[in-house]
Structure 1
């Protein structure tokens, strides 16, 4: 099911589900989202540990596969040794906290918890049991899934500005992020419902409650099964679940402990699952096991809402009839594989307003095996830290939508969003109709693919096994801090299939590590109103794979800016920011950038002023003022300070040059930024002078026009440095 092509993009569906389908051995299984903005409306507020007060060590940022910081939110975290602390300032009224953390493999311990300096009686256990996953059968994978989540009710209300601190005891703990939440009181039993406790379930977790749940479901047909506050242990999966509501008192109160909750191949539907937690004991990924919250079908017109799903292989692996299913307002954490996968046949399914963190495969996926997923959507979901694959992936299907989602921090083998014809198995239904990708925000997404030895973009369109002939409309996209490229068009299987009918309209790209468009397939796309700033290497990388397989045409429909340069050498891959995937605000933006001039003398060429060597220099044509020197910074920047240098040798006597500073965003129309002024260069002060630029100055092309030089009849600079900081 995995193509071993060297350049293949890895997307590994759960093998157990595939084997069951192929062999016919599947056992009996498995408030509206806000309209505007990207991501889910969440009941908690997250605070990054690296922004908290700590006696520990901040790690990262790091984008290197297999490192702890690369899997952290924001690619940074705080490492605590025993006795060290991290103290968070509470951002909202709260009575509960959940933290994402990591401890060394094979270890466990606890965190002491302090509220406003007072130690709580309870501690927060931490363990590596659910971390350090190895999937050696997946080419390019390494040990991954380093983080886990642990939660606790504080037993008191805290207010904004209060402090909650965690102190490591017994083991090293790396704290990534803390989620602060005001958990409402437990709900009460609905009238007429059947309580699982009345059927013999043990709310202490000591006894096996499996049969009690089955009996309650049978007794409540057409009604509600009530799961009171407590911890319930189920030792085998439930099946025959249809025409019933399973309801708890809230996901912090009613907790079911099982690694297989519902496992069924079909259902009459009308199932409502809501307001409790299902927490598993899955400590590795075994793809032949249906270790999922829901495996198979809930049947038509069903819903899942208000759930906390953790420590499963997959949250939901959905096959069979799930028409018109609504999955909303759930948390799916720490799965060793997918969060939710619509594995063919889905019609009218809506997955919205969910929070997913730390998935070991695609967080959200539609895979059109056997028959197409149709008229289904992923909307307003927040996805953080999928550590082996994509944030959201669409593999085939008809008339599908990915709208208003927020995806951050993908790793290793994944993009933020992938629109793909990678089939894995037959029969597969390629993309058709209209695929709508609208209003999504991607932050630090895209990753270095170890099988390709170069990266995948934040948003990838991939004709992996067949041409893309569907209409793909990508609109109103925001891509921030991609470590590599923003948009990628590729035939990842290496067969040279075309990518066609793609329209990209309305995108804002900020601080992308390499290029805005990474085109590696034949085909075409139209771009309109796509603006980019702080582009690391060039606007476009357009190099077909395989070589000579056909060109990719980029049609400029107007309104594009900040990415009109092209990477010129297809024999090399551009490096992030020419070496920095997260550009330093103190970086010299001009160093190494292409420079030109109206004239130069002999070997004193324009590039000498940006080569990082203050002893070499540019010198213009003699006796021909004014003379101009220009550098292309590669993208528009809010430059605030220039440092102009001449060689520091005392042989260079003091002189004054009259310089006008001009700027342009397109390389053709220049405006004066700083009018003509005399700048003194004196060997006593290192032959260096500083020019401050006014606020509000955005430029890509920096031009210095020299009108006079008191020491030589030509313009001269040994270094021109440009900075974002004053």
Structure 2
């Protein structure tokens, strides 16, 4: 049964208060500069000046966009605006960033308010092998060199198909696009900088990344550390004596302190310092307070607070700390690496900074009356906050004033997997640049849920600003769902799986009809690159060239869209692809790109009321011409040798229009050489876009030959009949840059091997041992007699020097007894390394390296396992072989 919402929460008539606040916010943004180029206000400054609060989180910082702020200045290159997946600008807040290439280039920020701390959102290149680089960048205050920030790409750059990996490569448009470029670095100044101070980032000698991209600078005034609350126990004092220097693993000591304090009904205080942990901390009926997000830091592996399930943890209060993980890839085979995970009821999580985790918070039902506020969640490899009603309903949750940026899945999500998300409120949050999926996603249920006064910006791929769907096996939507007073700026994207644009607010009845009440009232949709409102067909259209609607499909009904503003839309105000209907009134559109309505006979009715303006035209068909899509937009050639060509790198070229595109001669600047890609060569034309036609895209190979030491900048130019030539930035560098210097390590020969086993447990096949994923694993049939063997066929006789064996890093210690054998024909095996005990220790990531005898040359390498202290079978997640 749907749960009614109080009328005060559903302002459907007249001029709602949210609409008045919205207009004030938009007016303020327009007065500050072009609304489509600037980030809308998301700071706490409005309250101090008496201006009505703008949508978005009341964050403690003032944000300056390096490319668009009137208080920023640069002699570098301004990138963008760009909306295409795989570009540095498309993933940036505001779709623009500043790039610094070479000594002397800088970007500076003149402070409008006093500050003593800053967080920079930045990108630097990956290393050639995908492990990331580390490089300094000099920071100046009023012209005085202050420090060299240490920047890293270890937690950035993903490749291949979902759920992605770290191995560099450029592949097909439907999923194999290099992405996830940005990370954050924070710094506290020794003193407070007054308004008017100029803070500059500058490339100096020794700042040796080939390039730096700076997106935003968030300056704030950090208060002194919070003192220990009365009645709380200091964990660094007796009887706990927890180390806060970061030198030792304190997981056990912290867990003991939490358990003891919880049993005694006492709170815990974590004073300033670094606390190194390696596994989740279980919490229930406990208050934990840190000294503040800038002072109390939990870091290491599996940095997580874990709540109970069935029944959930309750009366948990955690605040005033930071959680920095070391997650550099998405691994959905485990539930760890999540800031807050599990069930929480009658609990509050506030003022916590979460960065470089898999997920910020994954709340699994049952859960009721959970408040999450003033969280800063950045640079995750999956969701920001997901209310996942998997094991029970999630009810009465309040998510307020949270700031989320660069999550690699939904920023905020209501996923009614098996039960309902009901009476949950998402209000005054800011969600920037989700790298995959939606700024806010709603999957099923929706009974009494409210999404209000949020600031949603810059969707990257596979989603929109707000996505509402009957998807992911969710329970049927029951409504009402109220969406009021939100600002959606530059949301929606061109989807490389469907080959057409996705709307800022979109409905997807993928797994069933959607007929529960959804009220969309008083929102502003600004500069949507494609459509404003989209209704997707479950029998999906198959490319932007297709105008014949699919037959039938699940429908969308009972949607009301009232008093909304659409200002700037690339294609359509309404993209009608599903059967169903919607009621619309008071919706005004300006700056419409192609037509008011896309309709090709899908059986969708728009029932219009009074007050609509600017979107009466209708058409069938996506844009005929469209700029070519090229990626990656910045291609870097690192550690080049003067006079010697580097290995080639692929660059993809795709036609996104509904008509064929003629290609001209593809050229590159001096020092860079273009050759046809042997697998996907470019011809003289590209077919109209369609996900089932590989002839609408092609690839070229580019190499770099340095004429002299240093950095060379160039351009790949792709002329076409689609208008202005498409370009890709090329950067060549002879410098041995940070980290491993961009030099690839020995290649893992097993990645291309055929893997077989003497036996395999169902769902744990031998192929899991060479899928480049430490989270999956091979396991022989449980209880079967030893020995059990795992054999890699490399395809040809090759020299081998070592093997590396791994188990999932979150597993407990165990000893496996094994030997290594080799063969040239797969029949006659000789022992290369005799049987021995090997300890898989989580302290060393459960990794074992075995050196092979000199001169080993075999086609087949075999592991023979004769014992395992951890299980009644042989187990391995990766069997790596190096030459």
2:100 corresponds to 1:86: no
Structure 2, unaligned runs of 5 or more: 1-43, 128-132, 164-173, 541-551, 630-883
Contact 2:536 2:576 in 1 (8 A): yes
Secondary structure of the corresponding residue to residue 191 of structure 1: coil
2:310 corresponds to 1:262: no
Tell me the residue number matched to 1:589: none
Identify if the C-alpha distance between structure 1 residues 304 and 194 changes in structure 2 by more than 3 Å, giving closer, same or farther.
same
Task: Give 1:576 deviation, angstroms.
Answer: 7.4
State TM-score, norm by structure 1: 0.71
Contact 2:293 2:351 in 1 (8 A): yes
Contact 1:270 1:302 in 2 (8 A): yes
Task: Give 1:67 deviation, angstroms.
Answer: 1.1
Question: In 2, distance between residues paired with 1:498 and 1:208?
Answer: 54
Q: Which of 185, 189, 208 pairs up with 1:154?
A: 189
Q: Which of 555, 562, 577 pairs up with 1:520?
A: 577
Question: In 2, distance between residues paired with 1:141 and 1:391?
Answer: 22
- Once the two structures are superposed, the pairs formed by residues 186-201 of structure 1 within 5 Å of their partners are 186-198=225-237, 199-201=240-242
Task: Give 1:176 deviation, angstroms.
Answer: 0.6
Question: In 1, distance between residues paired with 2:64 and 2:126?
Answer: 25
Secondary structure of the corresponding residue to residue 188 of structure 2: strand
Question: In 2, distance between residues paired with 1:578 and 1:152?
Answer: 40
Question: In 1, distance between residues paired with 2:539 and 2:292?
Answer: 45
2:564 corresponds to 1:499: no
Q: Which of 116, 124, 134 pairs up with 2:142?
A: 116
Tell me the residue number matched to 2:220: 181
2:261 corresponds to 1:235: no
Q: Which of 603, 611, 617 pairs up with 1:559?
A: 611
2:359 corresponds to 1:314: yes
- CA deviations on 1:183-239 (whole Å, 9 max, x unpaired) are 111111112212221213221101111122112112212221111000110111112
Contact 1:536 1:577 in 2 (8 A): no
Question: In 1, distance between residues paired with 2:503 and 2:403?
Answer: 23
Q: Which of 175, 195, 205 pairs up with 1:140?
A: 175
Contact 2:160 2:175 in 1 (8 A): no
Question: In 2, distance between residues paired with 1:155 and 1:295?
Answer: 32
- Once the two structures are superposed, the pairs formed by residues 512-591 of structure 1 within 5 Å of their partners are 512-544=569-601, 550-567=602-619, 569-570=620-621, 572-573=622-623
Tell me the residue number matched to 1:643: none
Q: Which of 461, 464, 468 pairs up with 2:507?
A: 461
Secondary structure of the corresponding residue to residue 432 of structure 1: coil
Task: Give 1:135 deviation, angstroms.
Answer: 5.4
Q: Which of 76, 82, 86 pairs up with 2:96?
A: 76
Task: Give 1:294 deviation, angstroms.
Answer: 4.1
Secondary structure of the corresponding residue to residue 248 of structure 2: coil
Task: Give 1:293 deviation, angstroms.
Answer: 3.3
Identify if the C-alpha distance between structure 1 residues 574 and 436 changes in structure 2 by more than 3 Å, giving closer, same or farther.
farther
Secondary structure of the corresponding residue to residue 613 of structure 2: coil
Tell me the residue number matched to 1:220: 261
Identify if the C-alpha distance between structure 1 residues 295 and 87 changes in structure 2 by more than 3 Å, giving closer, same or farther.
closer
Question: In 2, distance between residues paired with 1:573 and 1:399?
Answer: 38
Contact 1:197 1:212 in 2 (8 A): no
Identify if the C-alpha distance between structure 1 residues 527 and 408 changes in structure 2 by more than 3 Å, giving closer, same or farther.
same
Contact 2:115 2:193 in 1 (8 A): yes
Tell me the residue number matched to 2:251: 210
2:286 corresponds to 1:286: no
Contact 1:245 1:272 in 2 (8 A): yes
Contact 2:303 2:323 in 1 (8 A): no
Structure 1, unaligned runs of 5 or more: 1-30, 545-549, 580-726
Identify if the C-alpha distance between structure 1 residues 132 and 492 changes in structure 2 by more than 3 Å, giving closer, same or farther.
farther
Contact 1:416 1:445 in 2 (8 A): yes
Q: Which of 56, 71, 78 pairs up with 1:58?
A: 78
Task: Give 1:64 deviation, angstroms.
Answer: 1.1
Contact 1:539 1:562 in 2 (8 A): yes
- CA deviations on 1:609-658 (whole Å, 9 max, x unpaired) are xxxxxxxxxxxxxxxxxxxxxxxxxxxxxxxxxxxxxxxxxxxxxxxxxx
Task: Give 1:455 deviation, angstroms.
Answer: 0.8
Identify if the C-alpha distance between structure 1 residues 493 and 118 changes in structure 2 by more than 3 Å, giving closer, same or farther.
farther
Contact 1:410 1:444 in 2 (8 A): yes
Task: Give 1:71 deviation, angstroms.
Answer: 0.5
Q: Which of 153, 166, 170 pairs up with 1:128?
A: 153
Identify if the C-alpha distance between structure 1 residues 206 and 82 changes in structure 2 by more than 3 Å, giving closer, same or farther.
farther
Question: In 2, distance between residues paired with 1:433 and 1:141?
Answer: 37
Task: Give 1:289 deviation, angstroms.
Answer: 2.2
Secondary structure of the corresponding residue to residue 255 of structure 2: helix
- Once the two structures are superposed, the pairs formed by residues 323-342 of structure 1 within 5 Å of their partners are 323-342=368-387
Question: In 2, distance between residues paired with 1:264 and 1:479?
Answer: 37
Task: Give 1:36 deviation, angstroms.
Answer: 5.0
Secondary structure of the corresponding residue to residue 232 of structure 1: strand
2:85 corresponds to 1:42: no
Contact 1:265 1:320 in 2 (8 A): no
State TM-score, norm by structure 2: 0.59
The total of aligned residue pairs comes to 536
Question: In 1, distance between residues paired with 2:476 and 2:84?
Answer: 33
Question: In 2, distance between residues paired with 1:386 and 1:534?
Answer: 25
- CA deviations on 1:564-584 (whole Å, 9 max, x unpaired) are 1112x33x44667999xxxxx
Question: In 1, distance between residues paired with 2:145 and 2:162?
Answer: 46
Q: Which of 458, 461, 477 pairs up with 1:409?
A: 458
Question: In 2, distance between residues paired with 1:560 and 1:528?
Answer: 6
Question: In 2, distance between residues paired with 1:80 and 1:166?
Answer: 9
Question: In 2, distance between residues paired with 1:149 and 1:216?
Answer: 31
Question: In 2, distance between residues paired with 1:510 and 1:575?
Answer: 23
Q: Cα RMSD between the aligned structures?
A: 2.0
Tell me the residue number matched to 1:632: none
Identify if the C-alpha distance between structure 1 residues 244 and 575 changes in structure 2 by more than 3 Å, giving closer, same or farther.
farther
Secondary structure of the corresponding residue to residue 200 of structure 1: coil
Question: In 2, distance between residues paired with 1:320 and 1:400?
Answer: 16
Task: Give 1:62 deviation, angstroms.
Answer: 1.1
Question: In 1, distance between residues paired with 2:576 and 2:284?
Answer: 48
Secondary structure of the corresponding residue to residue 276 of structure 1: strand
Question: In 2, distance between residues paired with 1:450 and 1:513?
Answer: 17
Contact 1:244 1:272 in 2 (8 A): yes
